[in-house]
Amino acid sequence: MQMLPCNILLRFCFLARCPLDTVTSVLLSVHQINITDLQVGTFLNPAGLLPILFHGLTKHDVPIIDPTHVNLLFNNLSIIGKVFKRLCLSTQNSQDVFRQIRILAEVKTQDITTFIEQLKGLRLSGLDLTHLFRALSKYFDFYKLTCLGTTECGVVEQFMRNLGASALDKKLNLEHIAVNIERGGSEEHLDESLDNVFKACESIQSLHVGFNELKFTP
């Protein structure tokens, strides 16, 4: 990293999906400020580097390594999310991250969606989506999204049902939907969940549905 010319990087991926060391974080935030596509974990020490490192990003893949990092990321969204166009949130600690997002949303009174108004694509991976739509709606304006995807998430059907129910009186701008139904999901329940979503989407162009170990109904 130290041998690279200043501000030459436009994309940086730390594929280990584990904490990025402080030295590399500092080098990125000081000497590579033209990065617009970043894939790193949320852990940073000191935490004050987060707004600096994420400044100017339009596409970001965020592996949430520890539930406590939910606060670090979400509390800084009003600062770092102004130019986000695509965002991926992923975790391997589904239940704990799920609880932390809900707890944080319950005490959040400020409307964060106004600070992330350019966001068009959102992908969720590894999250338990049970009752999570309302919490995430405090941070992301689902009515402005054009692309929504889920992979390895639990209870996707309920999440899509809540999305459709919220759009009964307001149209969605979704053009591309890609969902993956995990074990225990139901084709029938998914059909019911997507029904209102489709009714609210006037510009839908593509739908991709994947099933893991699911028995289709005849």
pLDDT in tens, the chain (218 residues): 678 888 888 888 776 656 667 777 778 778 887 888 777 766 555 556 666 667 777 887 878 878 878 888 888 888 888 888 999 898 887 888 888 999 988 887 778 888 888 999 999 999 989 889 999 999 999 999 999 999 988 888 889 999 999 987 788 999 999 998 876 556 667 777 788 888 889 889 999 988 776 554 44
- Quote the CA–CA distance of 24 and 26 in Å, as a whole number: 5
Number of structural domains in the chain: 1
Instruction: Note whether 141 and 174 are within 8 A (CB).
Output: no
Whether 102 is covered by a domain: the verdict is no
Q: Give just the sign of the alpha carbon dihedral 12, 14, 101, 94.
A: positive
Whether 58 is covered by a domain: the verdict is yes
Output the pLDDT for position 172: 93
Residue 3, SS3 per DSSP: coil
Whether 57 is covered by a domain: the verdict is yes
Which residues span the domain enclosing 18?
1-93+109-114
- Counting beta carbons within 10 angstroms of the beta carbon of residue 143, is it exposed (0 to 12), middle (13 to 18) or buried (19 or more)? middle
Output the pLDDT for position 186: 60
Whether 85 is covered by a domain: the verdict is yes
Residue 65, SS3 per DSSP: coil
Instruction: Say what the pTM is.
Output: 0.80
User: What token pair was written down for 106?
Assistant: 């319950």
Based on C-alpha coordinates, what's the Rg of the chain?
18
Whether 194 is covered by a domain: the verdict is no
Output the pLDDT for position 134: 92
Whether 188 is covered by a domain: the verdict is no
- Quote the CA–CA distance of 200 and 147 in Å, as a whole number: 14
Output the pLDDT for position 31: 81
Output the pLDDT for position 47: 57
Whether 209 is covered by a domain: the verdict is no
User: What token pair was written down for 153?
Assistant: 């998430």
Count of residues in the chain: 218
